[in-house]
Copies of this chain bind each other. A is one copy, B any other.
Amino acid sequence: MSTASRTRAPARRLRRDGALRREAVLDAGLEVFSTLGLYGASLDQIAERAGLSKTNLLYYFPSKDELYVAVLRRVLDVWLDPLLALDAGSEPADALRGYIRSKVALSRDAPQASRLFCLEIVQGAPLLRAELAGPLRTLVEAKAQILRGWVAQGRIAPHDPQHLIFSIWAITQHYADFATQVDAITGRSLADPDFFEATVASTQRLVLAGLGLT
């Protein structure tokens, strides 16, 4: 064909552009889904924010549901990183302090991801159930095992490791998920460096003291 000789370079450029456009749509989807939910969000809104038309968006993602799942999947990966880093080798106090700090930092830097995740779980996680009962469960079980080891070695006070992990998640994510309530009551947010540090310190103190680590 006459186009064959021109195909290579343009094709590569197009593919890259396509990938960028997909990214833009995923970003826009995160913004809109995290504030309006799956049903409240419209493809028009997302498309406009991503800088293309609705029909064009549907060229990249075959349906609203599939776009939503794609957004959610990307969120989940980011969200589990800090827990993966929790390490048996380090000193318990250091490890927990670091974990708490990185979780609060995530609530500051990716609040929309936290909120979307929250919305999905609260509504029963119809799309994430498998993900939760599988990979997440085994990950939590592995980390709980580390905590149990520390208890057995007398390095931290005995405390149910699952409840401990839930408590840390709950507190740290609260500052992203309930940011509007926090703001209404305190007038501050994690974007304020002082408030960020105070939040980290408060959470660290609570958790460490609860484990007998001063």
* Chain A interface (Cβ < 8 Å from any Cβ of B): 35-40, 115, 118-119, 121-125, 129, 132-133, 136-137, 140, 159-160, 162-164, 166-167, 169-171, 173-175, 177-178, 180-182, 184-186, 198-199, 202-203, 205-207, 209-212
Main DSSP-derived SS at the A contact region: helix
Number of copies: 2
A195 CB to nearest B CB, Å: 10
A34 CB to nearest B CB, Å: 8
Question: Are B171 and A121 in contact, with the CB atoms below 8 A?
Answer: no
CB-CB < 8 A to A159: which residues of B?
202, 205-206
Question: Are A180 and B118 in contact, with the CB atoms below 8 A?
Answer: no
CB-CB < 8 A to A115: which residues of B?
122-123
Question: Are A129 and B37 in contact, with the CB atoms below 8 A?
Answer: no
A81 CB to nearest B CB, Å: 17
Indicate the member of A115, A178, A211 with the most B CB atoms within 10 Å.
Answer: A178
CB-CB < 8 A to A123: which residues of B?
35-37, 40, 115, 119
A-B contact pairs, 28 of them (CB 8 A): A35-B123, A37-B38, A39-B39, A118-B122, A118-B178, A119-B119, A119-B122, A119-B123, A121-B177, A122-B177, A124-B180, A125-B181, A129-B180, A129-B184, A132-B181, A132-B185, A133-B184, A133-B185, A140-B185, A160-B198, A163-B199, A163-B202, A164-B202, A167-B171, A169-B174, A170-B174, A205-B210, A206-B210
Contact for A137 among B119, B132, B171, B184, CB less than 8 A = B184
CB-CB < 8 A to A184: which residues of B?
125, 129, 132-133, 136-137
| Chain B: CB-nearest residue to A199 | B163
| Chain B: CB-nearest residue to A211 | B209
A173 to B203 alpha-carbon distance, docked (Å): 17
Given contacts A122-B177, A205-B210, 17 further A-B contacts (CB under 8 A): A35-B123, A37-B38, A37-B39, A37-B123, A125-B180, A125-B181, A129-B180, A132-B184, A132-B185, A133-B185, A137-B185, A140-B185, A159-B206, A163-B202, A166-B175, A167-B202, A169-B178
